[in-house]
Structure 1
């Protein structure tokens, strides 16, 4: 199934909605049935029938088919956020008394779920340095039911050898989950490497326009049905038809956006690497990255998320740099058409030390490269770095 077919045709039965080129938004909470027998079929299998939009909706179903195909998965569920997708995958996979093994620095709300919430229900999580696959094996026990991966992560971009971890897990009957938001389905294919479940914050590259919050979970038919019958329907963290339509629209331009973003990011990285006021650039596709060989092995291309460590001696200098930027918006998230910055210092109180114990230095600033011209972004970075 080729990429253009997935993005432009898959799931779009245009003859059923008057041959409209863009699919309609089925803004209906409920769907009627002409007979009791038909209604009985719908209520017994809401995953595959239009019965109540909390379970399935025609607009959302088009999106599900496209995202599943992009990831090479049998099926997909769409959620109201990436955090909801990950939480549903985890909750469907464990019960009281089980262990989870997770990478050391996952997304903050994944960490909160595993570290703070699940222990209340008797589920223990062991966090390991995922850059060495041996650390996963060392952390496994007879109670381990799930391994949670995030490759690369979204701040310092550590990766895991997905094929090696998948092989290790399958030999022991352990389920695997990988957050693939950084790479997008175009640049990394965890399911092809043996991973069981792949999650996305669809807010990021899949949407691409910073106008929708959403999540996706891709897996086999059997796993998706298990998640659907359990946390998906129970918690009700579904995606609205309007948001599904926005994501379908966003997917149309995914390849060209990712190509432009990668090309611009490469130019920005070259500038930053040579700048005397930059201590370090974090980016998986740098040849100086200790995991560069793994990047080449399991990633098909680059995205636009990178971090820089400024060569400064105070948080005040970091703030001067960030405040001076004019073409980068200062905010959370990433993956849209616009370029963004996220300073680590913003999550610490004013007056915090530059090097807090046990964490990243507050001189680290994350950049998300958008669709602006590279020269414009480089000039903006240059003038802001002059403030240092």
Structure 2
């Protein structure tokens, strides 16, 4: 058995373990054997003695004192996510951007330099490129698909490599292991947005990445009913975030949100299997259409980084895009005729979604092309394909 075959077997074994990690909890006498952890709707927690209070105040993140610091319902979710992501610790936030911005702020300060993939999530790019520049932090945006681009952008004051693999709209990959090695060699840290692959299909910490962020709003929540984020990593790095950005900026997750997410987490591995299978069926179908010039899906062998995806990920999710020379206006009309694909931002829930954007053509001829992003939900993929087929005729 060669290394690729061994890696494939290991990935399959890890995927099976995730079902138990998400579904099983030991009997908990604190909660009287409740299957779901109760919602602790408390702003504060009282103590029997002042000695207990002083001890808790000296270690706020390890005790329940005030829900801006540590709430039992939120803590439960953090522990489950850390186990699933193979992290020592985790901190949940009110949104994905709260998690992303807090993770970044924990690493950099005035005079520092960041390298980031230019296809990262839009608000992340705005935070790095515009907001942080007000405080003397510079960011260089690169394509990021080759390690040479990363090493070529390094400066003496580079403190952070920010990755998003795959990226949001074009689904390009970065070599996690090589980026982590580069960062260590220059004394910098790495953060990666792992929302697309989820902990089910990719565990960046095992490749040497320092911090992982997720938009819990997406697949982890899974039901389009909550907004949240999480940062995961070593105990030391998460504790540093916990006592600074988490406590001082106040972007905390509520216990109600944590309870919703915890319920959604129970079925995450099963849902991701469905998303993977359905997404590939729809992507393969779209790739056969004459008016589609390229499908951006890391799970397709036609993706230019397909082999890297096999090395880093154990599966692929159901968000992807395709490029067409058909004008954007016609695609917007087409999107309005779809029955099962709703027009809307975000993704990761049970419903299929579509958005249409204008981009420059790759051949640099000054003309524009259309980028259509599809999110394949939980519907029958045959119904989704039939929906696409009936709408093509009006293009």
TM-score computed with the length of structure 1 as normaliser: 0.94
Counterpart of 1:369? 376
Aligned partners of 2:238 and 2:79: how far apart in 1? 13
1:76 aligns with 2:77: no
2:267 paired with 1:253: yes
Instruction: Tell me whether 1:282 sits opposite 2:296 in the alignment.
Output: yes
Tell me how far 1:4 sits from its aligned partner: 3.4
Quickly say closer, same or farther: Cα 1:209–1:358, change in 2 above 3 A.
Answer: farther
**1:348 corresponds to which residue?**
none
Structure 1 pair 39/358, CA: closer, same or farther in 2 (3 Å)?
farther
**Separation (CA, whole Å) in 1 of partners of 2:121 and 2:282:** 25
The C-alpha deviation readout for 1:349-381, integer Å capped at 9, x for no partner, is xxxx98799999562111111110011000001
TM score, norm. by length of structure 2: 0.92
- Equivalent residue for 1:266, pick from 265, 277, 280: 280
Paired residue for 2:392, among 382, 385, 388? 385
Aligned twin of 1:291: 305
Q: 1:342 to 1:285 in 2, by over 3 A?
A: same
Tell me which of 336, 340, 343 is aligned to 1:327. Answer: 340
- 1: distance between equivalents of 2:168 and 2:371? 13
Choose the corresponding residue for 1:156, options 163, 166, 170: 170
How far did 1:129 drift? 1.6
* Other structure's SS at 1:185 match: helix
Cα shift at 1:387: 1.1
**Is the partner of 1:63 in helix, strand or coil?**
helix
Which of 101, 126, 138 matches 2:140?
126
Where 1:234 maps in the other structure, the secondary structure is helix
Distance 2:197 2:41 in 1: 32
Q: What is the number of equivalent residue pairs in this alignment?
A: 379
Tell me, in whole angstroms, the C-alpha distance in 2 between the residues paired with 1:194 and 1:93.
16
Give the alignment of 1:175-324 within 5 angstroms: 175-312=189-326, 314-324=327-337
Q: CA deviation at 1:62?
A: 0.6
Q: Which residue in the other structure is 2:19 paired with?
A: 4
* Helix, strand or coil at the partner of 2:182: helix
TM-superposed deviation, 1:279: 2.5
Change (3 A) 1:386 1:226: same
Match of 2:101 among 87, 94, 100: 87
Partner of 2:6: none
- Aligned mate of 1:59, from 73, 77, 82: 73
Is 2:42 the partner of 1:28?
yes
Whole-angstrom CA distance in 2 between matches of 1:51 and 1:194: 34
Look up the SS of the partner of 2:253 in the other structure.
coil
- Which runs of 5 or more structure 1 residues have no equivalent in the other structure? 346-352
Alignment partner of 1:171: what SS? helix
Deviations 1:28-62 (A, max 9, x none): 11111111111112222121111111111000011
SS at match of 1:47: helix
Alpha-carbon contact 1:343-1:362 (below 8 Å) kept:
no
Q: Once the two structures are superposed, what CA deviation does each residue of 1:251-272 show, in whole Å capped at 9, x if it has no partner?
A: 1111110111111111111211
CA RMSD across the alignment = 1.9
**Separation in 2, partners of 1:30, 1:360:** 59
Q: Which runs of 5+ in 2 are unaligned?
A: 1-13
In the alignment, the residues of structure 2 paired with residue 41 and residue 109 of structure 1 have an alpha-carbon distance, to the nearest angstrom, of 40
- Aligned equivalents of 2:88 and 2:391: distance in 1? 47
Tell me how far apart the structure 2 counterparts of residues 222 and 266 of structure 1 sit (CA, whole Å): 39
Deviations 1:201-231 (Å, cap 9, x if unpaired)? 0111101000000001001000001111111
Structure 1 residues 360 and 212, CA gap change in structure 2 (3 angstroms):
farther
**Structure 1: distance between partners of 2:137 and 2:371:** 33
Distance in 2 (CA, whole Å) between partners of 1:266 and 1:151 is 18
Q: Distance in 2 between matches of 1:129 and 1:359?
A: 20
1:341 matched to which residue of 2?
Answer: 354
Question: What residue number does 2:51 align with?
Answer: 37
